[in-house]
Amino acid sequence: MCNRGEELPLIPVIRKDIVKGFFDGGLLKKFRDFERDNKAADYFMLDGTHRTTALALTDRRIRAIIYEDDEDIVEAREHVATGEVLRSDTLDHSLEENCEILNRHFGKKPYFMTVGQKTKK
């Protein structure tokens, strides 16, 4: 049984400063508006919406694995066997490719939310 959420696999994230470098002018403006109102939101989540919602609803800490370069993704792949990281499509892409995927996603759905905002919604 998972009482504190510590047994859940890590959530893959990328620092916002890396991701926003891939946004075009219009999307970057929308993100800057979000960023102005949500200064503590420092990362983009790549996977784990259901886990983060469950953790937020139970007031538990969200544990993450941060991708800052391609080596971090290679290291994350090694943790799949232990269950510390879930197998996901993020592991099949480079850091740049993951950022491009986020750019395409937000290009189609240009609204940003924190985990807390998503949970309330």
| pLDDT value at residue 1 | 47
Residue 3's pLDDT band, with cuts at 50, 70 and 90, is: low
* Calpha distance 74→84 (Å, rounded): 14
Please report the pLDDT score of residue 7 as a whole number: 81
Average per-residue pLDDT for the chain: 93
Domain boundaries, the chain: 11-120
pTM: 0.90
Supply the angle between the helices 25-37 and 95-108 in degrees, to the nearest 10. 90
Which residues are CB-contacts of 104 (< 8 A; sequence separation ≥ 6)? Answer: none
Distances (CA, A) of 42 to 7, 15, 66, 103, 115: 23, 6, 11, 16, 12
Q: Indicate if the pLDDT at residue 99 is higher than 60.
A: yes
pLDDT classification of 2: cutoffs 50, 70, 90: low
